Structure 1
């Protein structure tokens, strides 16, 4: 857990390293430099939400773990390596957000991170001896469906981005009502 906390903290920190306003600018140049930072701020905000959600999910998943095996460790390290990579596609999105490839690369990174989390959860589902006594509200299957929604939406947005461009990012918003419905169902199962 400490390794995961550190990786997510460093990835979040790396997101801000590209923010820069040169010294010695006049008033008009200063205003322009601030406006040029807006795409960086948008990509930063998106990635803070994404990384924060995956950090929370990582901690939540490992809250159900009683013991780990080599496969759980391997999948967790793969997921952490992808989380550490997220600042790069974030930079692509902030600097080249209108390019379809930037949107596709970002979506691929998020889908891969979600796949790694889902894989750990599926290992726990198939190997009950690795789990503790507690279960997620609604059970492991509903929790896996919730994670799978993220993977599917971001994976579908990859070819969509390459076909229609940055507008594919609107598909990411489609997750919100689906995830809310899954959350309500899990709450009813409590």
Structure 2
């Protein structure tokens, strides 16, 4: 029995992409609201307030970077859709909800970075966000009628590995937060070499998929 893909307005992938872009833009904008200096301060109090800004600026820059990377990854996992259905929309909305939530744990690490719960909450939020990206790929792999073209297994595997690197590192830092406090955030630096390796693997898979699409008579 043929699957119903639907061509109504609610099944258009461009609407889901547009909603996603709007959520990302709003979440990025909300991050800056935590950075402010009260009015009516004397010189001494003003200097103290400026001295308190670096942790807020660090948290802002970190979350802005993470949301930006997540937005790029989100575009990749939604690329090539022909239609959407409820399971795909549900997983996507879950991820967008976590993106919209991120300004809250960002404010926690900017104000209470020494509290283990702040670091753990932030790390859990990021890990869950990337898990939803993997969930989108799983839904698409199990519901191939949603895709305009078949998804190359090598490319899907490389993309999942790239996303999983973030999940593993941030999830591992959750228990470390209770041991090391704010120093557990240093574990996130492991993402630099890990994402470099997984990114190269994904780039190679993209080139292979493009080569196969250009010359399907000679599969690689």
Same fold, TM exceeding 0.5?
A: yes
Contact 1:98 1:165 survives alignment (8 Å)? yes
Partner of 2:84: 68
Does the residue aligned with 2:166 lie in a helix, a strand or coil? helix
1:34 is the counterpart of 2:50: yes
Partner of 1:7: 23
Q: CA deviation at 1:144?
A: 0.7
1:176 is the counterpart of 2:192: yes
Q: CA deviation at 1:36?
A: 0.7
TM-score of the two chains, using structure 2 as the length reference: 0.81
4+ aligned runs moved over 3 Å, structure 1: 134-138
Partner of 2:119: 103
Partner of 1:128: 144
Q: CA deviation at 1:18?
A: 1.9
1:52 is the counterpart of 2:68: yes
Q: What is the distance in 2 between the residues matched to 1:14 and 1:27? A: 28
Larger radius of gyration: 2
Q: CA deviation at 1:24?
A: 2.5
Residue correspondences, number:
190
Q: CA deviation at 1:175?
A: 1.2
Does the residue aligned with 1:16 lie in a helix, a strand or coil? helix
Which deviates more from structure 2 when the two are superposed, residues 43-52 or residues 55-64?
55-64
Q: What is the distance in 2 between the residues matched to 1:46 and 1:120? A: 25
Q: How big is each residue's C-alpha offset from its partner over 1:52-76, in whole Å with a ceiling of 9 and x where there is no partner?
A: 1111111221113222121100000
